Chains A and B, each alone.
Chain A
């Protein structure tokens, strides 16, 4: 959108200078002290193995301990882990039940495993799969239920486990955004048949790239280890594992910094009408990581969610809509079921800048800008909508 005003001290979307010259991202992007990383890198070079080495083994042990499970299998990505899990279903069981209010990669993981995604609606409170919708969708061709545990709620794990169990279908949980969460007083990691996590740099534990699967099932763990070599190489490299080990070792400091930022946002949102933080669940056994900062946009906020995204992007805040557009609305999806709760939720939320490239001072400046946007809300809204119409 081009300049809408001659005033160069105006807000970004109206032609002014962006608040942030360097974009403020939404991902964690933490880094351990470089000296510690260099030491680990030197050990890797001295051992002479850049893959299939000791760092991966140590990482698996530490992650298994963190999640309180007997088995952790490190992989090149959470995506390859989920695809390997989905590939296990019989060839006549081609459907994978999954939510449409989630990360855009999920249907692709199913297709990589030569399976077909079947989207089900979610519960308005938990944002996770609605057990009643899953029950209605379960059929003879169902090969797996792929649930998503979200940062705000792990979802109806007990009900989904019972449903999947009654039908003899595996329950796989994508827990990427829920690392540290707990269910029934127990940390996530050992629920369903297996759970998948990510070590991408934007996630809580930064391994550059990578992922891991946790499970209590020894036979499944053995299968997954074998699946790292065939049919598709899904091995995690030593350097990625070393980075993740250090990130895990410094987790408490990362979470403390996240908490500071989250508290700063709490103060900002308290002064604004209509931007409400989607809260973390502080439940027994949970480690609230405060990694993601997601707000709901609702009246009396004067702009829509999408207008707010544009306004903030024009300020150099690399905000994004949260789980939007919903996956069943992708024109490539031939079956587009009616998912009214999903459609409603997909209009509501956005990610605010978060992680280690964002300071508390940045958040305070962003808060002041948001207050300005709120005061001039109807003017900004009408100018945005006029420009859209022409």
Chain B
């Protein structure tokens, strides 16, 4: 940790980093990607439920311990397809920390997110925010009692090997977007153990007569391309090693944040299934700064933290973040907190 008395950059001190440090996109291994695309060009099969999409459907189902995986263009269309497959309308009860992207997609599908305890809900969603499994016992019981579908937001919770109890529910939504541990740029999937729902999903995701397995009301162009499938497959192979490396970084953060007052990893972060995110809660009453003010002060240190809802910051994580970076980042945090009042004045009225 830094020597006491050094100023944070926002008050004139040297920035902690010479160049900006941020969460880098996790990229699949280049050799695997090159091999996959050479084969795509050899086959000249680019889209429309190609061999790689079919292989990925099977591989994801196996990796996640479910019967059916239906890959689609991105997580938003995955939500739209999943909701259309079950056809609930009205309110959806939420368990866990619902992110704005999922909330938007649910509303676009015609569902209004409400509290889990609300009456009259037509579906439930359990959110494994930041890869941290939420307690699904209440919401699973509520869905079973009401006879309504349970959706699981695992868009930040891709992992391997399959952890029983985490990926469970009537339909599980995965994301392969650039912010995730299994990054294809864009991509998504819906997992289910129901053959009936899987047939509906495979129908909903395209308009082809040959790929029609059920009668559905509204279909989409939600197909995943061979290019996307190639990138996900290339990243799936070494997912356990990637997660192991991320877990070491997360442990380093946990230790380095302990002495700091008012900033701590979100509860149960150590249980994250992929350790891909480093979410910290910023408690203004204890540290004197809001998450927004802290993010601005960190930016002056060349530490780029992402703001999430509810006073949470995502500290740099993933590929390219080493344990010594963690110590330097937390050192910068310590300096900022030691000078909270002048830092707060310096960054101004930041929301």
Contacts and interface: CB of A to CB of B under 8 A. Distances in A.
Interface of A: 29, 31, 34, 37-38, 41-42, 45, 48-52, 76-80, 103-105, 108, 111-112, 114, 200-202, 206, 208-209, 230-240, 243, 332, 356-357
A50 B185 CA distance: 4
Contact of B27 (A48, A108, A234): A48
A-B residue pairs, 6 tightest by C-beta: A50-B185, A237-B185, A201-B46, A208-B225, A231-B104, A233-B76
Contacts, number: 129
B221 A105 contact: yes
A50 B220 contact: no
B231 to A, nearest CB: 7
Interface of B: 24-25, 27, 30, 33-34, 37-38, 41, 44, 46-48, 73-77, 80, 100-101, 104-105, 107-108, 110, 177-178, 183-186, 207, 217-221, 223-228, 231
Given A108-B207, A208-B225, A208-B226, A232 B108 contact: yes
B99 to A, nearest CB: 12
Contact of A50 (B41, B75, B183, B221): B183
Contact of B177 (A51, A202, A230, A240): A51
A116 to B, nearest CB: 12
Contacts of B104: 230-232
A77 B73 contact: yes
A41 B33 contact: yes
Contact of B47 (A37, A51, A200, A235): A200
Q: At the interface, is chain A mostly helix, strand, loop or mixed?
A: loop
17 contacts: A34-B41, A38-B37, A45-B27, A48-B27, A105-B207, A105-B219, A114-B110, A208-B225, A208-B226, A209-B223, A232-B76, A232-B104, A232-B105, A233-B101, A239-B227, A239-B228, A356-B44
Contacts of A78: 221
A67 to B, nearest CB: 21
A29 B77 CA distance: 25
B219 to A, nearest CB: 5
Nearest to A106: B207
B167 to A, nearest CB: 22
Contact of A237 (B41, B44, B186, B223): B186
Contacts of B76: 231-234
Contacts of A237: 184-186, 227-228
B47 A209 contact: yes
Given A108-B219, A108-B220, A206-B46, A239 B231 contact: yes
Contact of A235 (B186, B224, B225, B231): B186
B306 to A, nearest CB: 14
Contacts of A103: 207
Nearest to B218: A111
A195 to B, nearest CB: 17
B161 to A, nearest CB: 25
A233 B207 CA distance: 20
B349 to A, nearest CB: 26
Contacts of B74: 76, 233, 235
Contact of B231 (A48, A50, A52, A209): A50
Contacts of A243: 46, 227
Contact of A240 (B27, B207, B217, B225): B225
